[in-house]
Amino acid sequence: MAIILDRQLREQIPRDNNEFPITYFHDELAALPNRAGPLHWHPEFEIATAVHSALDFRVGQEHIVLEAGDSIFVNGNILHAISQLCGDVPDPMPNVVFSGGVIAPEIGAVHQKYVKPIAACDSLPYIVFRHENDSLREVHRWIGEIYRAMEDQSVCYEMTVQRNLCFIFEYIFRNFDSLPKSQTSRIQITAQVRMQKMLSYIYEHYSEAITLEDIANAANISRSEAGRCFHAYMGCSPIEMLIDHRLQAAEKMLSETSLTLQQISAECGFNSANYFSRQFRKKHGYAPRNHRILGK
């Protein structure tokens, strides 16, 4: 299932049952260009696992490499992205995105005492559960049981999921003081919000003739500050990010449509087919028309 974002980069999570606010995903990487998803966020928590391959799980400005068997817990409202680093086939990467309401009602004492402090902790954007750590064996078992229950959805599966999420949150709460923390400053939080706004603008307007000033104005900052934010988070300039997103959109159209190069270049915001071809060749080492021939 593709990652669907709204205008604020917030992922739109489909719910089969709104009374049980948790969604199970798997095999998403197979549908993502280059097996890499965009930076996005959602208010819910997320737990994801690398199954066969090494994954680069980006949280904010940090890159965390998950080896096969490793899992990660990502707090709510945190910018994150995922990409596969190796392997000949897409990693299944099972993951669940869930509200704290699965564990306990948000107005209840259990949620207020045990869930809310974790959700509100700016210095705990993520927790990594390494597979080689014997002390985490139970945590990995609980995560695996959640995936199996969500996939099978047999009788009482909701209770199985809730029970194992409770075990995980109890582990986090009991070990809260000893868990590695990130010293997230107000400046970093502000930069993240700015990135959300600027990336959102690029994703929404990439097909138009937009400028660096347009991107910066989306976050009400200067062009130089926009450049600093992008280099800190993305390792590139805003315009380089714009071009890369346009190329990703073009790759998808080359694979899924019969439109001409002229039509695709216009649809994706390139001012000419020649410029589009040069940028495509610069990135891939071959011409766009070869993308179709090679079946990429």
**pLDDT higher than 50, residue 210:** yes
Give the mean pLDDT of 148-161.
Answer: 97
Beta strand pairing status for 22-25 and 95-98?
antiparallel
Mean pLDDT of the chain: 89
Please say whether the beta carbons of 92 and 31 come within 8 A. Answer: no
The H helix count followed by the E strand count for the chain is: 11, 8
| Residue type at position 194 | R
Per-residue pLDDT band at 10 (split at 50, 70, 90): low
Query: What is the CA angle 175-176-182, rounded to 5?
Result: 130
Quick one: pLDDT at residue 7? 44
Q: What is the pLDDT of residues 108-149, one digit of tens each?
A: 999 999 999 999 998 899 999 999 999 999 999 999 999 999
Give the alpha-carbon dihedral of 24, 66, 79, 14, to 10 degrees: -10
**pLDDT higher than 80, residue 271:** yes
Quick one: pLDDT at residue 74? 95
Q: What is the pLDDT of residues 78-116, one digit of tens each?
A: 888 999 998 889 999 999 999 999 999 999 999 999 999
Q: Which carries the bigger pLDDT value, residue 9 or residue 267?
A: 267
Domain 186-294: which CATH class?
Answer: mainly alpha
| 242-260 b/e (C-beta count within 10 Å ≥ 16 → b) | bbbbbbbbbbebbeeeeee
Cα dist. 6→3, 12, 226 in Å? 10, 7, 21
Other CB atoms within 10 A of residue 59 CB? 19
Query: What is the CA angle 123-215-56, rounded to 5?
Result: 45
In CATH, what is the architecture of 22-178?
Sandwich (2.60)
Per-residue pLDDT band at 12 (split at 50, 70, 90): low
Token pair 């890159």: residue: 63
Give the mean pLDDT of 44-73.
Answer: 95
Give the mean pLDDT of 159-173.
Answer: 98
Cα separation of 7 and 204, whole Å? 7
Cα separation of 56 and 62, whole Å? 10
Where are the domains positioned within the chain?
A: 22-178, 186-294
State residue 194 phi and psi, 5-degree precision.
-60, -40
**pLDDT higher than 50, residue 1:** no
The CB-based long-range contact list for 182-187 (8 Å cut-off, 24+ gap) reads: 182/60, 182/62, 182/123, 182/124, 182/125, 183/123, 184/60, 184/122, 184/123, 184/125
Q: Which carries the bigger pLDDT value, residue 159 or residue 232?
A: 159
Quick one: pLDDT at residue 4? 47
Please state, for a pLDDT cut of 90, what percent of the chain lies above it. Answer: 65
Per-residue pLDDT band at 62 (split at 50, 70, 90): confident
Nearest Cα to Cα of residue 127 among 191, 80, 194, 195: 80
State residue 145 phi and psi, 5-degree precision.
-65, -35
Give the mean pLDDT of 174-184.
Answer: 86
Kindly calculate the radius of gyration of the chain based on its CA atoms and give it in whole angstroms. 21
Cα separation of 71 and 49, whole Å? 4
Other CB atoms within 10 A of residue 30 CB? 13
Please state, for a pLDDT cut of 70, what percent of the chain lies above it. Answer: 91
Q: 3-state DSSP call for residue 139?
A: helix
9-13, 151-155, 198-202, 249-253: which range is least confident on average? Answer: 9-13
Other CB atoms within 10 A of residue 115 CB? 24
